[in-house]
């Protein structure tokens, strides 16, 4: 089962503990998490179900390539990290 980790920054806005879930794709893994925590969905996905622009998802240290359908494969031993992309400047 894949481990899904949400950064502390997201946890400040909505409770989202680290979870271990089944799923063969990023979409499947996140859907399991969102079923148990529907409020979290709105922070991560937009109204079309795609990854919000300010969000990043990494699988085993690599950024997902399919931000729209979230079809990137997830292995049973994968670690999926969900975080807000930070930007800024002077």
Query: What residues are paired with 80 via a beta bridge?
Result: 4, 59
Predicted confidence at residue 85, as pLDDT, reads: 76
Predicted confidence at residue 9, as pLDDT, reads: 84
Predicted confidence at residue 83, as pLDDT, reads: 93
Q: Using alpha carbons, select from 59, 58, 78, 70 the residue that is nearest to residue 27.
A: 70
7-47 pLDDT, tens per residue? 988 888 888 899 999 999 999 999 999 999 999 999 999 99
What the block records as the tokens of 90 is 């002077």
Judge whether 7 and 79 are in contact, CB under 8 Å: no
SS3 23: coil
CATH class of 2-84: alpha beta
49-75 pLDDT, tens per residue? 999 999 999 999 999 999 999 999 999
Domain ranges of the chain: 2-84
């Amino acid at each position: 089962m894949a481990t899904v980790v949400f950064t502390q920054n997201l946890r400040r806005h909505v409770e989202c503990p680290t979870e271990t879930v089944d799923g063969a794709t990023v979409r499947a893994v996140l859907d399991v998490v969102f079923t148990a925590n529907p409020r979290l969905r709105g922070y991560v996905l937009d109204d079309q179900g795609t990854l919000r622009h300010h969000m990043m998802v990494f699988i085993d240290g690599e950024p997902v390539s399919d931000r729209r359908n979230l079809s990137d494969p997830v292995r049973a031993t994968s670690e999926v990290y969900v975080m807000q992309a930070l930007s800024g400047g002077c």
